[in-house]
Structure 1
Amino acid sequence: MTNKHLLLIDDDTDFTQLLSEYLGPQGYDIDIANDGEEGLSMATSNVHYDLILLDVMLPKLDGFEVLKKLRSSHLTPVLMLTAKGDDYDKILGLEIGADDYLAKPFNHRELSARIKALVRRMAMLPSNSTQQNLKLGDVELSPSTQQVYCAGQLLELTGTEFSVLQLLMINQGKLVSKEDISEKVLGRKLAAFDRSIDMHVSNLRKKLSALSSEEKIKTLRGAGYQYLVATCIP
């Protein structure tokens, strides 16, 4: 089995060395960048990365700037490494397009589990080619191409946003709990006070509402989300 290729962007050289030694035997090839400019250059090069681990506090370009520039051209999954208890960093990272976050200091087993979940989700994408397109009202989702069109215009979605939308559309009219979304999309149980699913859905709403005036995703407070029954488009 071919090793998965990870890019670790962090300016703490002791930390990156320890993490490389920990993850290497688990089947990962690790490339390291110690500042934001170098990290962005590597992330947007011709090298294919299965996942990027991105620290927030970086010299030259901080993690948020790296992520903004990366998302203008690449949808590589990104796991943000944030300061413990800093909700602002977590929320901003998700708004910009991070797939998930983990607060430092963290348990290495937790990091390994997060990496496996995101990499596994991406590895499963080719199986989507056997699934039929979903068309609900003015939204059309293609599993084979990983593209979504709303009112005839292409939506620029991250891989996580695509997976959340796909799950909600498949269950049109039904309640989908945040716990289900977390387990099926992020591959992990929803932790207390975890805002990640809320932010991914919020991002989806903003992008959909920019192209269509119809409400598509309803929040059922304390329960989850529902993709509304679509209005028929002639």
Structure 2
Amino acid sequence: MTALEHAGRALAAESARYTEMGWMRGTSGNLSVVLGRDPLRLAVTVSGLDKGELTEHDVVVVDEHGLAVADQPHPEKRPSAEAGLHGRIAAVSGAGAVVHVHVLAPVVAAEQWPGGVPLRDLEMLKGFGRAAHDDEVTIPVIPNGQDMRVLGDAFEAGFRADTPALIVARHGVYVWGADLRQARHRLECLEWLLRFTVATKLEPAGRGML
């Protein structure tokens, strides 16, 4: 099995998992893993397919701009239009995998906190890579758009190395990690944190605790 097929198999398995969770409805969402860094190359799930039915062949190799590189094993397949943002996130953060899903809680949270979603003093923050107490965490929110360069610039402007997530308003969430497993664990914990925050509708008390 080639490195690309191995990456494709892992991406297909993760996509099926998220589909079962209801986080990749229809053909929405996209995942990527870094194949190499000099130059940057990513394997990205293809566009337009049910993410619960992908195979190891349903990936496209893209460059740092999200453009398909030459000599694809399946040149007829197209990368997601959002692959450019995957490339920017991987380049800036150093992540080995980027996950983008359309789970509801982050989108609702961004409606309530469009300047960034504040989280504090919740045990699940440890699973997101932050301290459970006395750690100010703000999940950045950027406006939606179709130009991945614009979204990439907005992401980079607010990037913090200790906050591996980005909410795109009225769209979805991006979470990244060293690999697909770490990205998944972070996403699962973040979804819980945001669902709790939205459900309880707690606001910082005098810039204090949630």
TM-score, shorter chain, exceeding 0.5: no
Q: TM-score, normalised by structure 1?
A: 0.29
Larger helix fraction of residues: 1
Larger relative contact order (Cα-Cα within 8 Å, sequence gap ≥ 6) = 2
